[in-house]
Amino acid sequence: MTKPFVFKKNLVARKSFCHTYALVLSSFLAIFAFQKCNSATCIWTGTQNNLWSNSANWTNGITPDTGDSLVFPDGPKYRNLQNDRLDILSVSNIIFNGRGYTLGGNKIDLTGDIVSVPSLSTNRVLFPIDVYGPATFQNQGYFNQLELGGEINLNSDPITLETISDIKISGTIRGTIGVGTILHSNSNGRFTLAEDGRMYGDITVAHGNLILSYTLSHGFIDGARGTRLIIGNDVDSPMSAKVQTQRSNLITTKVEVIVNGSGVFDMVAPDYPERMEQTIGGIAGTGLINLGDGKLILGSTLSEAFSGVINGSGDIQIGLPAPLGATSKINGSLVVAGDLTFDGPVNVVSGYLSLANGSLSNSVVTMESGGHLDGSGSIKSLSSDGAEITPGPGTLRVLNDCNLDFWTLLWAHLDGPKKGVLHAGTLNLNSAYLGAIYEGVATESSFTVASTDSGLSANFRLDTVILPEGGWLVRGDPPTEFQITYGANAGHEVVLTRYGEFSAPTLSVRQLSTTECIIEWPLEAHDFFLQHTNPEYLGGWTTNGLPAPATNATVHFVIESNTTPWRLYRLTRPVSPFQ
């Protein structure tokens, strides 16, 4: 049944200069009350030409006035109409009771609704519209299309598009974050963003299909960073709301896509001749993503999780390479909650892949410099080229091979609420950097950093120094000494054992001459080594092989010319005894 249209204002006869009034007398005051007639309904007759300014084209020979509702019936000869008025006309509603109308010309203000009633027809609204107040654009006819081809500016309230057949957006709907467009149709209805159509601001596909059309030109969705495309809800039946892309890159990286339980984000377009690729701001929700063999690129950070279903054999890319002429990559993010049954690869170019008790158990994950992996959950395999990995809280599981490289940083929380362990089928450390973090709240003295099912190869490093079996490191506040073991639990675990607070011996530095100074090296410091900074970079420590093992009580070393800039020096427990 066609939903009847209800005016938002009472529409009665044309207002006149007559008023209904009542006179109330009192001994002290006379009050006059006047009641104006409400706005009129102006009906197009089109007896003369296609111009709105010609009064002969309207009933009673009167052109529309502010607040009037305009009705376009069946019958008039002229239906390709022009608003040629020089003033900006403000109308309440536009109602199509007839077929085949096209409204073009100058801009109008709209305070109410647009409704197309007939079936088997197309009605077009092509002029610019400034919308004031909530509005509904409604297509009530079966096998009927309402086309919105002008620029529609939303000021402070969203608009709702409703259809049982088709609403085509070939112009621009310009909203903002919080002021956007709500789409609602029955199971047979659809919305088509086609040709040069644009939609800015938040969009909610509450029910029905939004098609991002594949044409010679193409429509797209854009807005300020943080704009949202919300598909479905968590109440209606699954797949009752869908957004389908029919060509690549129809949504910008500023737009976050939220796919709720009844929603589908569909990237499968059989008629598109190329591989589908969509770059969006981020993905979240509990719904369905049909990826097919396409590529989904997440080009902005979004903290909300996705726990729905991803179908297809395509791939997901997190982050973007540095734009032409820039040096910094662009961060993206994907937060996974639940077990995603996704079989394709995931490549973290820059940004964050977070497993919030979620998993990508069938996905091969590759990570580049600038990428971050954290959380507890599982992935199929991992290859890191300079990325940062932070297991926890809990265990981060790599079911098969885990291959790190020299530039990879493993941040291992030994205790506290973020305590985590990296576990893999096989683990190749390749001298990755070990960043152990100790908060000092644990009662135990042994801490597992990493573990494997079947194989562990190579060592960690500290700065540029390899950390061998039995090596020492100092972490926490107050500084606490730990010794590393790679062979724990029959060679399947990397363990740090706590030995107590660390206190370095005191060095005595004295001037030898105007150009040289020396360090007096006490005997108790012979199992430590001296580190110094690069004069150009005070944050990096190196050793240069000092000191050599010695047995006498004091060893003197000439360490540098007494010139600026000064280096900084410190004593550190060696990674292995008497290095």
Phi, psi of 57 (to 5 degrees): -85, 0
| Number of Cβ within a 10 Å radius of residue 409 | 16
pLDDT of the residue at 366: 98
Q: Is the pLDDT of residue 79 over 50?
A: yes
Which CA distances in Å does 20 have to 25, 266, 286? 17, 59, 59
* Amino acid at residue number 460: F
pLDDT of the residue at 487: 81
The C-alpha atoms of residue 422 and residue 69 are separated, in whole angstroms, by: 68
Place of tokens 């990826």: 291
pLDDT in tens, 324-360: 888 899 999 999 998 988 999 999 999 999 998 899 9
Helix, strand and coil content of the chain, in percent to the nearest 5, comes to 0, 55, 45
3-state SS, residue 73: coil
pLDDT in tens, 195-231: 789 999 999 999 999 999 866 556 689 888 899 999 9
pLDDT in tens, 430-485: 999 999 999 999 889 999 999 999 889 889 988 777 888 888 888 888 888 889 99
Residue 94: pLDDT band by 50, 70, 90 thresholds?
A: very high
Q: Is the pLDDT of residue 548 over 70?
A: no
Residue 274: pLDDT band by 50, 70, 90 thresholds?
A: confident
Q: What is the pTM of this model?
A: 0.81
Q: Mean per-residue pLDDT for 15-31?
A: 29
The C-alpha atoms of residue 352 and residue 395 are separated, in whole angstroms, by: 18
Mean pLDDT over the full length of the chain: 83
Q: With contact defined as beta carbons under 8 Å apart, do 373 and 334 qualify?
A: no
Q: Is 29 exposed, middle or buried (0-12, 13-18, 19+ CB in 10 A)?
A: exposed
The C-alpha atoms of residue 246 and residue 347 are separated, in whole angstroms, by: 24
Look at 219 and 97; give whichever has higher pLDDT.
Answer: 97
| Number of Cβ within a 10 Å radius of residue 344 | 21
The C-alpha atoms of residue 66 and residue 132 are separated, in whole angstroms, by: 13
Range in 129-143, 325-339, 487-501 the model is least confident about: 487-501
3-state SS, residue 436: strand
* Amino acid at residue number 44: W
Largest CA distance in the chain: 120
Q: Mean per-residue pLDDT for 558-577?
A: 47
Q: Is the pLDDT of residue 411 over 80?
A: yes
Residue 513: pLDDT band by 50, 70, 90 thresholds?
A: low
The C-alpha atoms of residue 430 and residue 401 are separated, in whole angstroms, by: 13
Q: Is 491 exposed, middle or buried (0-12, 13-18, 19+ CB in 10 A)?
A: exposed
